[in-house]
Amino acid sequence: MPLDQEIENEEEETGGEMSFIGHLEELRWHVIRAAGSILVFAILAFVYIKEIYHYVIIAPSQPDFWTYKMLCLLADKVDYDELCIKALNFKLQAIGMGDQFTMSMTSSVIAGLVFAFPYAFWEIWSFIKPGLKPAEQKSARGAVFYVTFLFFSGVFFGYYVVTPLAINFLANYTLDDSIINEFSLASYISLVATLTLACGIAFQLPIVVFVLSKVGVLTPSFMREYRKHSMIVILIVAAVITPSPDIYSQILVAIPLFLLFEISILVSAKVEREKLREEKRLAKLGGSDL
């Protein structure tokens, strides 16, 4: 008997409720469509890979990159010349025979993952959402928009702020003047992709706090109580992400992280208010029954 027919028969026998096998089959198709969207965008990226390399991937390695121009303007305003990045002391090289082709394939997959993220997440959410209670579905309304917005905000922050600052520090850090910085193409792409995607994931903090607050693990009072501790952690993270001793670079990274934490507190407080309203509503219903 075909699997689809078997699933339909099982649903009829259980009063329309999908069986475990039926859930797995549905999940499989959601995953296939999500992976298919990534593949489509990866193929499109591979077609235009030279333009993507020139205007996107290699751009942070050039002194005329937008971020470096803005830092020079900021340096003029605060009268701190060291903030202006005028040159990057390194060259990129492809060591292996097939490095450029391999990296073009790798970069295409990464680009496909980034551009297909909204649809891929929507597919996974479409599988999760029917299993939620009506109240949970209502509170999670707009999840695809918020997750996508935060992801791309993190990607842009990682690409335009964190990555250029890290490249500048690593390119100009030398043990001795006789050593020439010639980085492999693979290490450069790994740095750009890691920092950019890591920021995209890190910016999901409000979503993570929302889920943890829903299950009762986090509360706004707990987050406010440890706000000072979180500031220290954020400053440490900013120092690690931007290993440059330049305090302005660390502040540029730390400020958005502080804002994310404060937004997360507001999200947790909103969840707590909704819980209190629901408890009061249930208490009134219980009192009226008596």
Residues with Cβ within 8 Å of 246's Cβ and at least 6 positions away in sequence, in order, are: 82, 83
Per-residue CA distances from 35 to 32, 112, 130, 152 (Å): 5, 10, 21, 19
Cα 117 from Cα 196, distance rounded (Å)? 14
93 three-class SS: strand
> From first to last of its 290 residues, what are the pLDDT tens digits of the chain?
444 554 445 444 444 456 778 778 888 899 999 999 999 999 999 999 999 999 999 999 998 899 988 888 888 888 777 778 888 888 899 888 889 999 999 999 999 999 999 999 999 998 888 877 777 777 778 889 999 999 999 999 999 998 998 888 888 888 888 888 889 999 999 989 988 998 999 899 999 999 888 888 888 888 988 888 888 888 887 777 666 566 766 777 888 889 999 999 999 998 888 888 877 877 777 655 55
Cα 56 from Cα 51, distance rounded (Å)? 8
Query: Residue 92 — φ and ψ, nearest 5°?
Result: -100, 140
Element at 113 (helix H, strand E):
helix 99-128
For residue 18, the number of C-alpha atoms closer than 13 Å in the C-beta half-sphere is: 12
Looking at residue 78, its pLDDT comes to 81
Query: Residue 93 — φ and ψ, nearest 5°?
Result: -145, 145
Pick from 251, 214, 193, 212: which is nearest to 71 by CA? 251
Residues with Cβ within 8 Å of 245's Cβ and at least 6 positions away in sequence, in order, are: none
DSSP H helix total and E strand total for the chain: 13, 2
Looking at residue 37, its pLDDT comes to 96
